[in-house]
Structure 1
């Protein structure tokens, strides 16, 4: 538990080698855009990094900003062009400083590539022999400060690759290649993936990230460790924003829920009701939850009742798979971790805070890869805005919850 608390403190404290023709042709001068809009974020990010601007194949207003220097992460997206809401949380202060921080560089971004586990004997964040504490914790540069190579790109997709070698806490060298592809989705793609019909009154943006790790070295062994793919999305919180994590009742009426990562969560901030876990996402109280693979469903989301924005992530899930534990301690059962996590940022005891933001996170299973074998993990991220009744139909179909119920759950 001590490691968990330190981890929360760390997270709260710290916050291209080329672009494609689509960026050159489509990015406009938006220096006068209002804060919170997509145009504002384009202008800001262009001042500091090379960006790649992706556009949905059938909707020019559906766009996303990708930054190769930040490991090909999706910094933010919009359903309404330059003047529309910008959905990703961005650490403007850190980016503007141009300085790298110790331990981690939390640049923000609504979907980034990470590696699991963070703690334990298979961690690549702690050197062999080091204690699981803040002083020794270091995010590997390959997922923190090093750029991913752009292999190819067009107006709606981009492909990245990165080769690396890391040593885990057990002293096992891991030699592997990361491949990552981000593709914008059109309205028909969205309807097919979610098995829904989109009302024309609904504005939407969506993309899929396809992620692969290929083992280039010795076979991975159960006793010496493996790694998993971990995708984290940082979003802007709100007083009326709620995280929704539906759970399966196939094996139990109660979810296999971890809700004490950073201590007890007050009842007015965490509710388990009617097949879903609700977590307040106002950025005012540091809290984290996790669902085990047997309880998780391949969907989670959030609803901003003030701005009427419904966000959904859809990810690969293996209910019977083994997932890696990330707590900062030696693990008796290192392959019994969470498939889904969600986090709400909040101030520390001294009042300092990196955010505020909230996160939706999905994990891949752990696989003992032989040489040249691959591990894949894909995730789709959707943002819907528009008619409340139409959004309600999507929420009920995908998440199994009612929009009004979400908006009233903490009142």
Structure 2
């Protein structure tokens, strides 16, 4: 379903429900009961990220204020305890496409319907190999064997390199300046997928890298996507989206990510910039995600349908969890921000790469406004009332 994003922002001053903060030390101590996490730290130990080789080399969570700071990711404690299922975490690599007749998530011979969706076994594999490790970086590797809906088989090698960024590197990468009083933690996830078998053929299906960040949903959380305003509207998936959850104004798309209504949007490459944002006033947190983007390439599809001949893929997606009636699903509020690499016809031993950089800023309203003004030309605090009636 497509919707036209041309509704004007409505301003008011209704209060937002505050989300209970998750403490980093509590999350780390819990993880250590069931895992042997890798913790990368800045010299002053204020910026820390928690990685797990057991869970696909993902970044489980992070803090910008040492062990006493808030934990930035959404974590599924039941899955961590049981060592199965999606454990959450703020940066992981899956493999696309999720939709189309070339999907990896619908078994061959079964209809492309929601009830047949399942995560491929290779993407549930545990125990990634640690190739290299130091105080601020880690390199993971895993061989993946995958089969798409057309029964095309793929053999590929996934490399994940995570680098913790210092303050100067964050400032240079984003091209901004911010006060020393702002707490921040940032890292770069560099991913490479190498074809280990026969040349990939677009007529039988291609695969690529798909990076996902799972964050805590809250009543006041809004995700923001800078766009080329003259381009076509975003793609809408799952349940219908209206102006109470999805609004476009000028060069920005605003999407309510409270974790209470199952929906998804996609931004195609020709419409997208290489940034996306999440702002939670109740947490005093602005999350900035920067990713690699090549507007000349084709990107994967998320449509749940076999005939996608007229559809264009998305370079970014945002998924909001929840029920259709706008309530929590399994008492768990989370959302995902996602970016993808292009779909390339790789020959044997050729690779596709994708970089995603995640930065969390914790600060006052004025400090976060200063950052957003430099990046997208608005005060991020003004978005608090975007969806108020």
What TM-score, normalized by structure 1, do the two folds share?
A: 0.85
CA positional deviation for 1:272: 0.8
- In 2, distance between residues paired with 1:366 and 1:393? 36
CA distance in 2, matches of 1:386, 1:62: 14
* Aligned partner (choices 286, 296, 320) of residue 310 of structure 1: 286
Measure, in 2, the Cα distance between the counterparts of 1:99 and 1:78. 23
SS in 1 for 2:31: helix
TM superposition shift of 1:83 = 1.0
Is this contact kept in 1: 2:211–2:338, CA < 8 A? yes
Q: Is the 8 A contact 1:325 1:331 kept in 2?
A: no
Match of 2:355 among 359, 373, 378: 378
Aligned equivalents of 2:135 and 2:382: distance in 1?
A: 39
Q: Deviations over 1:261-304 (max 9, x none)?
A: 12321312221113111111222222211111011110001111
| 8 Å CA contact 2:45, 2:66 repeated in 1 | yes
User: Do the aligned residues in 2 keep the contact of 1:323 with 1:335 (CA within 8 Å)?
Assistant: no
Q: Which has the higher contact order (CA 8 A, sep 6+)?
A: 2
Conservation of the 8 A alpha-carbon contact between 1:342 and 1:360: yes
| Aligned residues of 2:122 and 2:145 also touching (Cα < 8 A) | no
Please, which runs of 5 or more residues in structure 1 have no aligned partner? 2-33
Partner deviation per Cα, 1:290-336 (whole Å, 9 max, x = no partner)? 11101111000111112210001000011221012122221343872
Matched with 1:39 is: 25
Mapped partners of 1:221, 1:334: distance in 2: 19
147 and 333 in structure 1: CA distance in 2 versus 1, 3 angstrom threshold: farther
The correspondence for 1:243, drawn from 203, 223, 228, is 223
> How do residues 176-187 of structure 1 correspond to structure 2 at under 5 angstroms?
176-187=156-167
Q: Is the 8 A contact 1:256 1:292 kept in 2?
A: no
Structure-2 change in CA distance of 1:371 and 1:335 (3 Å): farther
Any conservation in 1 of the 2:262–2:319 contact (CA below 8 Å)? yes
The residue that corresponds to 1:230 in the other structure is: 210
Partner of 1:83: 68
For residue 397 of structure 1, the aligned residue among 365, 368, 374 is 374
Q: Could you tell me which residue of structure 2 aligns to residue 359 of structure 1?
A: 336
1:55 equivalent in alignment to 2:55:
no
Once residues 334 and 116 of structure 2 are traced to their aligned partners in structure 1, the CA distance between those partners, rounded to angstroms, is 25
Contact 2:184 2:361 in 1 (8 A): yes
Q: Which residue does 2:17 correspond to in 1?
A: none
Give the C-alpha shift of residue 153 in structure 1: 0.5
Match of residue 406, structure 1, among 378, 383, 388: 383
Distance (Å, rounded) in 2 between the aligned partners of 1:238 and 1:143: 28
Q: State the shift of 1:145 in Å.
A: 3.7
**1:381 shift after superposition:** 0.1
Where in structure 2 are the equivalents of 1:237-276 lying within 5 Å?
237-249=217-229, 252=230, 254-259=231-236, 261-276=237-252
Q: Does 1:324 align with 2:304?
A: no
Deviation at 1:352, TM superposition (A): 6.7
Aligned to 2:188: 208
Q: CA deviation at 1:344?
A: 1.7
Equivalents in 2 of 1:228, 1:295: separation in Å? Answer: 20
Gaps of 5+ in 2: 2-19
Structure 1 position 169 matched with structure 2 position 154: no
Q: TM-score, normalised by structure 2?
A: 0.90
Alignment partner, residue 264 of structure 2:
288
After superposition, what is the alpha-carbon deviation per residue over 1:197-234, rounded to whole angstroms, capped at 9, x for unaligned?
12111110000000000011111112011101111111
2:255 to 272, 276, 279: 279
8 Å contact kept, 1:299–1:399: no
Q: Which residue of 1 aligns with 2:10?
A: none
CA contact (8 A) 1:68 1:148 kept: yes
Shift of 1:401: 2.6
Aligned to 1:113: 93
Q: 2-side partners of 1:185 and 1:54: how far apart? A: 10
Please report how far the alpha carbon of residue 99 of structure 1 lies from its aligned counterpart in structure 2 after TM superposition: 5.8
Q: Determine helix, strand or coil for the equivalent of 1:398.
A: helix
* CA contact 1:324–1:334 (8 Å) conserved in 2: no
